[in-house]
């Protein structure tokens, strides 16, 4: 199974993210835009995992503790030069609880034998990939929600459609 740990959103937050995605799509020459049900923040990407590794990931998730925290989405940006195909995202604030949760999860996963991306944690929600547009990164009217849980997500293609399914959950303390 292809797995990652994520923060998923309420339908109200997803609707606001969809407004941003749809605005981007309307100003793009082309791109592949995120499905509503796939909007999330990745805390740790684990890749292909077998049953034993999945069991270990669940145990790691159960071992972390975190208090509910607020996610505030406050900007739209891109990864890439902007002179071609780029990945566009909605960016969230980096609060102390989120940073601590990310660090604790990744430290425990690495200690359990997983190899994780070493890039600096940049909490974002992918709006579109391979996007060609004249749009520019910008600040937006902030919106968000209080996060009470994180999910272990399975990523698979079903009938040609990228589908994410929660297979385990850790609720805040």
168 in active site: no
* 124 is known as an active-site residue: yes
- Among residues 40, 102, 148, 168, the one annotated as catalytic is 40
Residue 50 · residue 163 · CB < 8 Å: no
C-alpha 40/C-alpha 171 separation (Å) is 16
Return the residue matching tokens 């406050």.
74
From 21, 58, 50, 57, select the one nearest 37 (Cα to Cα): 21
Dist CA 115 CA 86 (whole Å) = 26
The catalytic position among 102, 124, 148, 168 is: 124
Q: Which residues fall within 8 angstroms of residue 119, CB to CB, at 6 or more apart?
A: none
Catalytic residues: 40, 124
């Amino acid at each position: 199974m292809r797995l990652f740990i994520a923060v998923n959103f309420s339908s109200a937050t997803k609707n606001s993210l969809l407004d941003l995605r749809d605005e981007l799509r309307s100003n793009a020459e082309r791109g592949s835009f995120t499905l509503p049900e796939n909007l999330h923040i990745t805390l740790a990407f684990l890749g292909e995992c077998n049953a034993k590794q999945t069991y270990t990931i669940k145990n790691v998730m159960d071992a972390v503790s975190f208090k509910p925290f607020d996610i505030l989405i406050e900007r739209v940006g891109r990864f890439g030069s902007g002179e071609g195909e780029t990945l566009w995202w909605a960016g969230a604030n980096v609060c102390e609880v989120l940073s601590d949760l990310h660090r604790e999860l990744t430290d425990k996963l690495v200690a359990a034998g997983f190899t994780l991306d070493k890039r600096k944690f940049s909490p974002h929600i992918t709006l579109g990939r391979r996007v060609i547009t004249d749009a520019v990164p910008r600040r937006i009217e902030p919106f968000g929600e209080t996060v009470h849980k994180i999910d272990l997500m399975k990523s698979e293609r079903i009938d040609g459609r990228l589908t994410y399914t929660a297979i385990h959950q850790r609720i805040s303390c």
